[in-house]
Chains A and B, each alone.
Chain A
């Protein structure tokens, strides 16, 4: 399969999306459909003494109002720990908590009714600082306390490392509560069917897990719940966990009518998942030649009110807290801490941007102190395949840290950085910096990381690829089509995809963790092999041609024991009553043992990127413009160049947002930045010029050599921007986003005195 050719095609969904004809789940409506309203908490932290829904029920047009007592199954959800109530009965823990659900004939009536639900609260003190929340006398968000997870990973002896070090850099770093801001907010329709089953149409990143969580909430057999979650109008991790599905499912089953919810941007910003803000205290020791000796890290993760994926995010951050550098002595400790600051969950990068901002900053500061350049110090420390990672596992799969570092060093921006830094305005300063990132892909150790796919040879000789993984904008379905077409040796137009449906597609795990393309490569390749076996079986059953032969795909057909057959011919003979189905199943390779004390670690397959950034800082106002970014990225094997560049463009914009603009501000539990006039994301005017360097170091455990790239493309740009500000002005940025006022205050520290 080494010679597989991926025909470079445009996105298969481009025309429908550009023309607005794509039907997202939020576009759907059904006869007799009702509208849901989530009655949200009035306080960030309070006991619920009583709820009276009588006034709301009395409003004309209201069909039902549900409270916690109406939850038919288990009143909770959460991928790891189902500690988030669908409807809160006795306590609320953030402003997005639901205390009642309304279904009404119009959205307006539903909203009016929500205001008529009378809730008697006993207000509790707000827990809004993760470090304070760890103190023994802090008010408790949950009965079990405020510690969601504590992890400690050690290797070697950090104190010994620091004693041998010539330079020790120690700082505290802070990162923002980034919002996913998908164009399509949390939305969907729940439809009760005549046979007592429920159809859920809601964009999400994993239909099959939604099915199980909904079954638990409703107290129903999962087979009676059919989830369609594709296509999704943007996810970025914010639709990995359930959002509105539990609420509309309960309302639909109660009323017997289809029920729709489509959150306003403001409600989405208050109730939706966010990126965990981190406080990272990092102490890093170096020898005078730049060799890293020790890294002592403590992370405080602001978990928000409920668990969701806060534990795995913390642990992935700790796994990457010394990156893939050769650090003999490490101590990585982390606390995931419950607060009343909204809710945080999965987000592209999954903890890695937070810690690499700290690490790459410490490395550049050490380089400056030691008179080394940023490339030299990193080259001295990058790990290679076969070496031991900073958390103690041996790196068995491909490692491309040096590959991306070499490429970024040779890039136009890095080679000509002094010319790029010239400016003739007395108040402007320009700087260039670079950073590296590995990004562990897949779900990690201990969680079965599984992917299935079917390739159906249909009656007409064309193919249907059935796979669970959704398209939420990444371009993966185009990639899957190319992979299947490349293996089958047919024009990509002959492959259609059915995805993101519990009926009709195959569970391939969540569309998260940079795992879609890699998982699909192996599942599709296995399905393709199996299709060949099915052809052999079918021929043998009819012509007794034997079972030993292997089919090989040739132009638009296969070689068989009876000679070459086109797919049309095979379909004519064997696929008239039902499709001839190739089934492929794949389980990710994992490490053979867990990192002690760190559930899920280590990861086994990595993505790699290096990025360099050119910024311009206005020293009068602190405004920072990101002018140019170069990305050196290892794709393993590029399936679609245009989509890779698209992921880089989007990743850089999202990384830029993290570095310069974005932060969900919460004061005393109240979200202050509820829409796009106050929650600032980069516009087309803000995004930089791009230079792409695409490298292909095949990942040996993928049948097609591919690796996921969706997350890593947003990671190194974050420290690179912060460090470019240093290169431009001499100040070190320790807190992101580097807003104009923050940068100004760094440049003019005497301002307040």
Chain B
């Protein structure tokens, strides 16, 4: 049974921040509602005030300004997967957004909600991490910026204070020579919570070697995590497409992830499959860049 709640609709950012300050920890933001309504039904929402952000139009945007991509917190997954800017300059994010849930969820769910929920399984999070995104946070008393890798403090927990709201994400536009990608392992082809997911950015140098790698995994730890040893190994890959070499580099992730058993999969399987998922996604991306050159 869904408990009785007080429901406030924010009309603009200013109104949202006022409501946030007024209700503080008693309130829960609802943007697309794709997570909150499910949790309400399951009795997992402890707050008794809902602040609805779905009409805050000023937070729903995607734009590029001087080499920086800005994504509003209320941009939906459908917005991101369809955006030419995100597809060109942050492909991993477009790929991740296009694999969230199904069409109905992508039309409603927002990137701000996906991140602020702080689920270790959130699909857009590893993508934002490997794009080096920064989270813009606002409150009535001002704004601050937090690198997304520092945003999460545990499963379902973040640095966000009760009166604060995520307003946007921004990251440097990826350019030529940068490969980004995303891979997801679930229980079926759509409408599935990630058993594991992975995103990566590879910067390719003049000699076609990977000179910088950022790799982040979701659903295999208490938060989404970077795997630095694996990144180093990817930087040592020979500049030609070798499945065995990629597979072997990806296998290092086994040491760097810390999954648990749940209904979807066991920890030991998640470790193994996460490595495979990275190998597969990296191979696909590198094949497009290294093949027949």
Residues of A within 8 A of B (CB): 108, 111-112, 425-427, 618-623, 625, 661, 665, 672-673, 676-678, 680, 682-686, 739-741, 744-745, 748, 751-752
User: Contact between A618 and B276 (Cβ–Cβ < 8 Å)?
Assistant: yes
A751: B residues at CB distance < 8 A: 268-269, 272
User: Contact between A683 and B190 (Cβ–Cβ < 8 Å)?
Assistant: yes
User: Contact between A744 and B272 (Cβ–Cβ < 8 Å)?
Assistant: yes
Taking CB as reference atom, which chain A residue is nearest B185? A621
B188: A residues at CB distance < 8 A: 661, 680, 682-683, 685-686
Taking CB as reference atom, which chain A residue is nearest B193? A677
User: Contact between A108 and B1 (Cβ–Cβ < 8 Å)?
Assistant: yes
User: Contact between B1 and A741 (Cβ–Cβ < 8 Å)?
Assistant: no
Taking CB as reference atom, which chain B residue is nearest A681? B188
User: Contact between A685 and B277 (Cβ–Cβ < 8 Å)?
Assistant: no
Taking CB as reference atom, which chain B residue is nearest A683? B190
User: Contact between B187 and A683 (Cβ–Cβ < 8 Å)?
Assistant: no
B280: A residues at CB distance < 8 A: 425, 427, 618, 620-621
B189 within 8 A of partner (CB): yes
User: Contact between B268 and A739 (Cβ–Cβ < 8 Å)?
Assistant: no
Contact of A620 among B187, B195, B263, B273 (CB under 8 A): B273
Contact of A673 with B263 at beta-carbon distance under 8 Å, contacts A685-B188, A752-B268 already known:
yes
Q: CA–CA, A676 to B264, complex, Å?
A: 13
Q: CA–CA, A152 to B193, complex, Å?
A: 45
B191 within 8 A of partner (CB): yes
**B189 CB → nearest A CB, Å:** 4
Count chain B residues whose beta carbon lies closer than 8 angstroms to a beta carbon of A.
27
Contact of B243 among A426, A625, A684, A685 (CB under 8 A): A426
B185: A residues at CB distance < 8 A: 621, 623, 740
**B276 CB → nearest A CB, Å:** 3
Taking CB as reference atom, which chain A residue is nearest B192? A680
B277: A residues at CB distance < 8 A: 620-621
Identify 5 residue pairs between A and B in the complex whose beta-carbon atoms are under 8 Å apart, listed by A's number. A427-B243, A623-B185, A739-B187, A741-B265, A744-B273
**Chain B 61-115 interface residues, beta-carbon cutoff 8 Å to A:** 102
**B86 CB → nearest A CB, Å:** 22
Residue among B195, B275, B276, B283 facing the most chain A CB atoms (10 A cut-off): B276
B102: A residues at CB distance < 8 A: 683
Contact of A686 with B263 at beta-carbon distance under 8 Å, contacts A740-B195, A751-B272 already known:
no
B236 within 8 A of partner (CB): no
0/1 interface trace, chain B 260-293, chain A, CB 8 Å (1 if under): 0001111011001101110110010000000000
Taking CB as reference atom, which chain A residue is nearest B4? A108
User: Contact between A683 and B193 (Cβ–Cβ < 8 Å)?
Assistant: no
A677: B residues at CB distance < 8 A: 38, 193
Contact of A685 with B276 at beta-carbon distance under 8 Å, contacts A672-B263, A673-B263 already known:
no
**B251 CB → nearest A CB, Å:** 10
Contact of A661 among B187, B273, B279 (CB under 8 A): B187
Q: CA–CA, A676 to B38, complex, Å?
A: 12
Sorted nearest first, the 7 A-B pairs with minimum C-beta distance are A620-B276, A685-B189, A685-B190, A426-B243, A621-B273, A741-B269, A680-B187
Q: CA–CA, A744 to B195, complex, Å?
A: 14
A425: B residues at CB distance < 8 A: 280, 283
Please name 4 further chain A to chain B contacts, defined as beta carbons within 8 Å, in addition to the given A425-B283, A665-B263, A752-B268, sorted by A numbering: A622-B269, A680-B188, A683-B102, A740-B269
User: Contact between B190 and A686 (Cβ–Cβ < 8 Å)?
Assistant: yes
B192: A residues at CB distance < 8 A: 680
**Chain B 239-266 interface residues, beta-carbon cutoff 8 Å to A:** 243, 263-266
**Chain B 1-35 interface residues, beta-carbon cutoff 8 Å to A:** 1
Q: CA–CA, A740 to B274, complex, Å?
A: 12
User: Contact between A745 and B276 (Cβ–Cβ < 8 Å)?
Assistant: no
**B2 CB → nearest A CB, Å:** 9
**B195 CB → nearest A CB, Å:** 7
Contact of B1 among A112, A426, A619, A665 (CB under 8 A): A112
**A278 CB → nearest B CB, Å:** 23
Q: CA–CA, A745 to B273, complex, Å?
A: 11
User: Contact between B263 and A678 (Cβ–Cβ < 8 Å)?
Assistant: yes
Q: CA–CA, A672 to B263, complex, Å?
A: 8
User: Contact between A686 and B272 (Cβ–Cβ < 8 Å)?
Assistant: no
Taking CB as reference atom, which chain B residue is nearest A674? B42
**A492 CB → nearest B CB, Å:** 36
B263: A residues at CB distance < 8 A: 665, 672-673, 678
Taking CB as reference atom, which chain B residue is nearest A427? B280
Q: CA–CA, A683 to B1, complex, Å?
A: 28
Q: CA–CA, A625 to B190, complex, Å?
A: 12
B38: A residues at CB distance < 8 A: 677
User: Contact between B190 and A741 (Cβ–Cβ < 8 Å)?
Assistant: no
**A745 CB → nearest B CB, Å:** 7
A621: B residues at CB distance < 8 A: 185, 273, 276-277, 280
**Chain B 180-200 interface residues, beta-carbon cutoff 8 Å to A:** 185, 187-193, 195
User: Contact between A683 and B191 (Cβ–Cβ < 8 Å)?
Assistant: yes
Q: CA–CA, A625 to B188, complex, Å?
A: 9
**A117 CB → nearest B CB, Å:** 15
**A676 CB → nearest B CB, Å:** 8
Q: CA–CA, A620 to B185, complex, Å?
A: 10
Q: CA–CA, A619 to B277, complex, Å?
A: 10
User: Contact between A686 and B189 (Cβ–Cβ < 8 Å)?
Assistant: yes
**B33 CB → nearest A CB, Å:** 15
Q: CA–CA, A625 to B102, complex, Å?
A: 18
User: Contact between B273 and A622 (Cβ–Cβ < 8 Å)?
Assistant: yes
User: Contact between A620 and B279 (Cβ–Cβ < 8 Å)?
Assistant: yes
Q: CA–CA, A677 to B269, complex, Å?
A: 20
User: Contact between B191 and A740 (Cβ–Cβ < 8 Å)?
Assistant: no
Q: CA–CA, A741 to B264, complex, Å?
A: 9
Q: CA–CA, A677 to B188, complex, Å?
A: 11
Q: CA–CA, A165 to B156, complex, Å?
A: 61
Q: CA–CA, A672 to B264, complex, Å?
A: 11
Q: CA–CA, A124 to B266, complex, Å?
A: 30
A427: B residues at CB distance < 8 A: 243, 276, 279-280, 283
Q: CA–CA, A676 to B187, complex, Å?
A: 12
Q: CA–CA, A677 to B119, complex, Å?
A: 15
Taking CB as reference atom, which chain B residue is nearest A107? B1
B189: A residues at CB distance < 8 A: 625, 683, 685-686
A678: B residues at CB distance < 8 A: 263-264
Q: CA–CA, A621 to B102, complex, Å?
A: 22
User: Contact between B273 and A740 (Cβ–Cβ < 8 Å)?
Assistant: yes
Q: CA–CA, A508 to B197, complex, Å?
A: 53
A741: B residues at CB distance < 8 A: 265-266, 269, 273
Q: CA–CA, A621 to B184, complex, Å?
A: 10
Contact of A744 with B269 at beta-carbon distance under 8 Å, contacts A620-B280, A672-B263 already known:
yes
Q: CA–CA, A620 to B263, complex, Å?
A: 20
User: Contact between B190 and A111 (Cβ–Cβ < 8 Å)?
Assistant: no
A752: B residues at CB distance < 8 A: 268
Q: CA–CA, A622 to B270, complex, Å?
A: 11
Q: CA–CA, A752 to B191, complex, Å?
A: 30
Q: CA–CA, A436 to B185, complex, Å?
A: 32
**A572 CB → nearest B CB, Å:** 55
Q: CA–CA, A427 to B191, complex, Å?
A: 24
Residue among A108, A672, A744 facing the most chain B CB atoms (10 A cut-off): A744
Q: CA–CA, A425 to B247, complex, Å?
A: 13
A673: B residues at CB distance < 8 A: 263
0/1 interface trace, chain B 36-50, chain A, CB 8 Å (1 if under): 001000000000000
**A688 CB → nearest B CB, Å:** 11
**B290 CB → nearest A CB, Å:** 14
B1: A residues at CB distance < 8 A: 108, 111-112
B190: A residues at CB distance < 8 A: 683-686
**B200 CB → nearest A CB, Å:** 16
Taking CB as reference atom, which chain B residue is nearest A424? B287
A748: B residues at CB distance < 8 A: 272
A682: B residues at CB distance < 8 A: 188
Taking CB as reference atom, which chain B residue is nearest A682? B188
Taking CB as reference atom, which chain A residue is nearest B277? A621
B243: A residues at CB distance < 8 A: 426-427
Taking CB as reference atom, which chain A residue is nearest B187? A680
Q: CA–CA, A682 to B264, complex, Å?
A: 16
Q: CA–CA, A677 to B37, complex, Å?
A: 14
